[in-house]
Amino acid sequence: MITDRDVAKCMAEYGGGFVSRLGSAALAADPSNLKKLRDAFPDYWANYARMAQQLFEVEKQASVQHNNNNIGKTIT
């Protein structure tokens, strides 16, 4: 599940100058101000929510593959 914090971190890390600053502001915002940011920039929020979801899925798949590669291996 993607949280508002995940979306804001994605914006801060991958956004251009303006969007990255919106992400940073969202990370610092209280719930009331976070809602104002989300309501003011719904298109940006939706785009970066999709990106955050895709990153989550890629990381989850990589973790599964890593774990599958380590099944049966012993540490010496």
pLDDT tens digits for the chain (76 residues)? Answer: 899 999 999 999 999 999 999 999 999 999 999 999 999 999 999 999 999 999 999 988 887 766 666 666 665 5
Model-level pTM greater than 0.75? yes
What pLDDT does residue 44 have? 98
What pLDDT does residue 1 have? 87
For the residues of 47-70, what is the DSSP string, one character each? Answer: HHHHHHHHHHHHHHHHHHHHHHHH
Residues 6+ away with beta carbon under 8 Å from 22: 11, 15, 37, 41, 44
